[in-house]
């Protein structure tokens, strides 16, 4: 006998429905893309009514922001694991570049959630919470660049925030170009990203 969508799996009887909804929505996004995600399809997939789903997410935008926050945590976990495998700030910075690129290429739809216009231009508390978490993640990366500068790896005459933004812009552009089907192979993107890191290192002796 088929189960009625309004049966026991509702927010009143399911202790972790919110997390299950995020996990199911993430799977849907990774398989079919952001545009294919809908509240109705998600409710059917998990086995709850749309009304039950709206107790946790007021609209699709709020759901996407929740997926985005989970994606930030997923990336942070990948990064933490990658950095733990190497020693030395310079080696850790190189590993950051590698982990960033591989995450973007292996999870293109999640990357779209993280940096797509639909997520960043949203309104409401969920969108602001997502943006706040994303900015905090970038600050951690910018602090790594500042540490490189403090240790003499970069010229003290350079603005570490601008350097971090330049490199991130390069990595982001490369990844988006590949994910959008414009150019490159995955190997090309990784090699070019390391050239970008190498060029940044050449600024060690730059004089303004």
Three-state secondary structure call for residue 9: coil
Instruction: Give pLDDT, residue 88.
Output: 87
- pLDDT in the model for residue 14: 53
What is the fold of 68-205?
A: Tetracycline Repressor; domain 2 (1.10.357)
Say what the pLDDT of residue 5 is: 40
Pull the structure tokens for residue 7.
Answer: 């049966």
- Kindly list the domain boundaries of the chain, sorted by start residue: 1-57, 68-205
* pLDDT for res 205: 58
For the domain made up of 1-57, give the CATH fold: Arc Repressor Mutant, subunit A (1.10.10)
Look up the pTM and report it: 0.83
pLDDT given at position 206: 56
The pLDDT of residue 204 is 62
How far CA 38 is from CA of 28, 115, 178, in Å, comes to: 9, 19, 26
Low-confidence ranges of the chain (pLDDT < 50): 1-13
pLDDT for res 207: 53
């Amino acid at each position: 006998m088929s189960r009625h969508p309004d049966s026991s799996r509702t927010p009143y009887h399911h202790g972790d429905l919110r997390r299950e909804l995020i996990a199911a929505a993430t799977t849907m996004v990774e398989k079919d893309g952001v545009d294919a995600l809908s509240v109705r399809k998600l409710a059917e997939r998990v086995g709850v009514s749309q009304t039950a789903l709206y107790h946790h997410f007021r609209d699709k935008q709020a759901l996407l922001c929740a997926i985005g926050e989970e994606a930030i945590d997923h990336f942070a976990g990948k990064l933490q694991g990658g950095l733990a495998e190497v020693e030395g700030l310079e080696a850790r910075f190189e590993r950051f570049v590698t982990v960033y690129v591989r995450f973007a290429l292996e999870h293109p739809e999640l990357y779209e959630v993280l940096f797509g216009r639909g997520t960043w231009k949203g309104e409401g508390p969920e969108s602001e919470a997502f943006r706040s978490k994303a900015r905090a993640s970038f600050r951690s990366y910018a602090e790594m660049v500042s540490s490189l500068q403090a240790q003499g790896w970069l010229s003290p005459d350079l603005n570490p925030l601008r350097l971090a933004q330049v490199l991130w812009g390069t990595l982001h552009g490369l990844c988006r170009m590949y994910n959008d089907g414009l150019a490159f192979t995955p190997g090309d993107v990784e090699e070019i990203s390391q050239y970008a890191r190498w060029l940044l290192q050449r600024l060690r002796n730059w004089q303004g």
